[in-house]
Amino acid sequence: MSQIILDDQLYAFEVLLPIARWTTVQRLRDLRPDEVIKDERVPALLRQLRQPTFVTIDMGFWNRNLRDNQYCILCFPLHNDEQHKMPDLLRRALKLPDFHTKAARMGKVARVSWEHIKYWQTGDERLYGLQWPIL
């Protein structure tokens, strides 16, 4: 199972609990319960884990300079009142070949929206784009 790490601003009932029904998930704050984790410390913390996928609505993480082979960052351009949409969108993204396995995801920083997925990956300056398959 995947190790999904949720950014702290994501809601438990709308995001964490639905995702926990199908994969391993925990909040960022649970990794260091006695500390306040500033955004700039997140990459270093992710490097200490075993191939985590960090999920956030903080678009400050949609930054190609955050690419690292030891983790994946998935940014969802959702407002707080849209967080309930994230579990389905995340699950759909993780079914795509480019994100289906940990090995495929590592090194990517992606922006996942209902229209498409855009991402950068390590070792390449190109911005990739994926369209959702027709259901």
Nearest CA to 26 out of 47, 55, 65 is that of 55
Give the per-residue pLDDT at 36.
86
Nearest CA to 107 out of 52, 27, 48 is that of 52
CA atoms 130, 47, 6, 62: torsion sign: negative
* 127 DSSP 8-state letter: P
**Contact between 7 and 16 (Cβ < 8 Å):** no
What would the mean pLDDT of 10-27 be, rounded to a whole number? 95
Q: Is the pLDDT of residue 28 over 70?
A: yes
Give the per-residue pLDDT at 1.
45
pLDDT confidence bin for 2, thresholds 50/70/90: low
Q: Residue 34's Cα: distance from chain center in Å?
A: 23
**Alpha carbons 117 and 43: distance in angstroms, whole number:** 21
Q: Is the pLDDT of residue 103 over 60?
A: yes
Q: Is the pLDDT of residue 34 over 60?
A: yes
User: Over the stretch 81-102, which tens digit does the pLDDT of each residue have?
Assistant: 999 999 999 999 999 999 999 9
pLDDT confidence bin for 20, thresholds 50/70/90: very high
